[in-house]
Structure 1
Amino acid sequence: MTTRCAIITGITGQDGWYLSQLLLRQGYKVIGTTRDLRGADGQTHSGVDVVQWDMKDEAALAALLQTVRPTEIYNFAAYASGAAMYEEPVGIGDINGLAVARILEAIRSTNPSIRFCQASSSELFGEPLESPQCENTAFRPRSPYGAAKLYAHEMVGIYRRRHGLFAVSAILFNHESPRRGSAFVTGKVAEAAAHIKTGLAQELILGNLDARRDWGFSGDYVRAMWLMLQAPTADDYVLATGQSHSVRELCDVAFKRVGLDYRYYVQEGEDAFRPTEIVPLAGDASKARERLRWAPEIDFASMVNMMVDAELERLDQTNDKPR
């Protein structure tokens, strides 16, 4: 049997880490792309071939497709969301939006049989009119990040309908892991709990502790994206747990993991405070459950505990290094 080959753009991110792990176990040849080869050192699994690709260069991607002949492509490369989703709107539009059109066009012109999965985002819904949100909920993006992701999402649908590509969008709600950085609130809280426990910090300043999100585990979500490309027909899916949790709950779980009461260490800062959304972001993944037989395996508390444990382990490793 011919070995399946997958390209993962943005291989050094958390989703690239967990998907490449899954695909390598499935016997795939895995090619990862990054904009900076030097920055990829130590950020990928052994067995992943990493190549440099500028996402503005469609010709270079077409040449890569002709050389490695992938059967699947997963696009995880993007400007970050979180606090950065309003910054650099032109760059966000180019990388999170136009680059997806470049990938689709490269697939169409070189090998239309390649299956493509776009990592889309719950930021498409922005300020939703209903909760929970499903595939039929109206899109109302409120940031350059969400707007660019919406352009990419629509282009996936256009290439699927117009050119017959097996192209799908995974509408991903917040998903985290021990590889999530402190630019995101989950990473910030996990890091702070570990630092405060070990005496490296005294307090944590956050925004609205009552803000709610639907948080899942990255490993579960990349498994769903793989299932999307194994399905008999191409379609878009919301991927979510269906449960929302507040930042306050996040802090409670994280600090309890280290034996502390968050109320003594976490404060709301006026500069970072944002009002609670009238209609919360929470996903309805019924379609994925029914058609893909997918369901999250890691619950909210287990994921948070995993992140705190990883931060404690990192601190232990740092302290064990010779000075």
Structure 2
Amino acid sequence: MPRALITGITGQDGLYLAELLLAKGYDVYGLIRGQNNPKLDLVRRVVPDVTLLTGDLTDLSSLLRALEVAKPDEVYNLGAISFVAYSWENAMLTSDVTGKGVLNILEAVRLYSHDDPNRVRFYQASSSEMFGKVQEVPQRETTLLWPRSPYGVAKVFGHYMTINYRESYGMHASSGILFNHESPRRGPEFVTRKVTQAVARIHLGLQDRIVMGNLDAKRDWGFAGDYVEAMWRMLQQDTADDYVVATGETHSIRELLDVAFAAVGVSDWSGYVAQDERFMRPAEVDLLIGDPSKARDVLGWKPSVDFAGLIGMMVENDLAEQRALTGR
């Protein structure tokens, strides 16, 4: 039975990946930060067969202890402070966890497998936010990185550190440069879930409007459940490498609103949406669209859920959730 350790198991990617690995017969371990983690019950409910270990990406010794217990064949580093807007408010903590945390887990894996650098295969969750002020459209593995947020800068550090450990120590260390990927499990602070949750509440008469920032920003949105399959496929390759994981399509926030409101029968949402400068980023990333051809050609991966299907899935989930909460 193969064994895997997942950091960041409390997030949407961690949950979907754990489900995937369990279905493939893995013995799965998940790293939880803090004994009173508010998402502990969620993880236990969704993936009860996962063995949970306490650890922290900022504490190398705790990572070494987790590796000694899990004895993994594969390590998936999904742990990060992943809300981009928050990274301006706390750039230091974001750098420590999202950036230096990658160095800590890489070093822990190196020390744990010092006798055989390929004993553990490592996956790093890199991000399309690394492209920031995009220098090429679409963005691919060779596109110059120009991050526009402390989060993006931290992800660049982790990305290049992963490459450095691969080249310096011969580790099987791969990075997935994942473009925006969403699901009903996405936190409500992220724009897609913010919209779908608000649309559900507006439809049920629970709120009057939604307040947004930049409506013209464009993103390449896919389904998180599809993207964790790409992560797993990377670690099944004989040679470690880096891959863009994306749909190859881009949609604006306005299109997101179009599709979400259409799911509840509203064709003109202008009366339900307001804008506020508080939700504008200090340095905006205007256009992200990935070229997933390498992942398609080498990994045999392609997305199964399109944009309309993704947003429709999320609105339907939020309608059910809000009805259950309010009895409407």
TM-score, length-scaled by structure 2 = 0.93
**Structure 1 portions without partners, runs of 5+:** none
TM-aligned CA deviation for residue 259 of structure 1: 1.4
Deviations 1:88-145 (A, max 9, x none): 1111111111111111111111113100100010111110111110001001111111
| Matched residue, 1:9 | 7
Q: Which residue of 2 aligns with 1:169?
A: 175
What is the root-mean-square deviation in Å for CA atoms of aligned residues? 1.8
- Distance in 1 between the 2:182 and 2:69 partners? 34
Identity rate, percent:
49
Deviations 1:276-308 (A, max 9, x none): 979621101111010001000000010001111
Cα distance in 1 for partners of 2:196, 2:138 equals 27
Secondary structure, counterpart of 1:86 in structure 2 = helix
Residue 251 of structure 1 corresponds to which residue in structure 2? 257
Aligned pair 1:125/2:123, yes or no? no
1:198 and 2:204 equivalent?
yes
Deviations 1:16-69 (A, max 9, x none): 010001001000011111113432112341201111112222122112212221
CA distance in 2 between partners of 1:185 and 1:206 (Å): 8
Helix, strand or coil for the counterpart of 1:181?
A: coil
Which stretch shifts more, 233-242 or 58-67? 58-67
Equivalent in the alignment of 1:308:
315
SS of 2:88's equivalent in the other structure is coil
Is 1:124–1:141's contact at 8 Å kept on the other side of the alignment? Answer: yes
Question: Contact 1:210–1:276 at 8 Å: present in 2 too?
Answer: no
Q: Is the 8 A contact 2:10 2:32 kept in 1?
A: yes
Q: CA deviation at 1:83?
A: 2.0
Q: Distance in 1 between matches of 2:210 and 2:327?
A: 26
One-letter code of the match for 1:9? T
In the alignment, is residue 97 of structure 1 matched against residue 99 of structure 2?
yes
2:41 is aligned to 41
Give me the whole-angstrom Cα distance separating, in 2, the residues matched to 1:282 and 1:199: 35
Given the superposition, is the C-alpha separation of residues 309 and 36 from structure 1 closer, same or farther in structure 2, using an over 3 Å criterion?
farther
Unpaired segments ≥5 residues, structure 2? none
Match for residue 226 of structure 2? Answer: 220
- Asked whether the 8 Å contact 1:130–1:279 carries over to 2, the reply is no
**Distance 1:66-1:273 versus aligned 2 partners, 3 A rule:** closer
Distance verdict in 2 for CA 1:279–1:266, change over 3 Å: closer
What residue in structure 2 maps to residue 18 of structure 1?
16
The reply on whether 1:78 has 2:80 as its aligned counterpart is: yes
Shift of 1:210: 1.8
**CA 1:125 to 1:198, structure 2 compared with 1: closer, same or farther past 3 Å?**
same
Output the CA distance in 2 between the equivalents of 1:214 and 1:186.
12
Measure the CA separation in 1 of the matches of 2:53 and 2:193. Answer: 28
Distance across 2 between alignment mates of 1:269 and 1:88: 22
Residue pair 1:37, 1:50 contacting (<8 A) in 2 also: no
Q: Is the 8 A contact 1:133 1:282 kept in 2?
A: yes
**Alignment partner of 1:51 is 2:53:** yes
Q: Which amino acid aligns with 2:217?
A: A
Asked whether the 8 Å contact 1:208–1:276 carries over to 2, the reply is: no
Q: Quick check: 1:319 aligned with 2:326?
A: yes
Q: Deviations over 1:188-235 (max 9, x none)?
A: 100110000000001111122221111111011111000000111100
Task: Report the residue type matching 2:49 in the other structure.
Answer: G
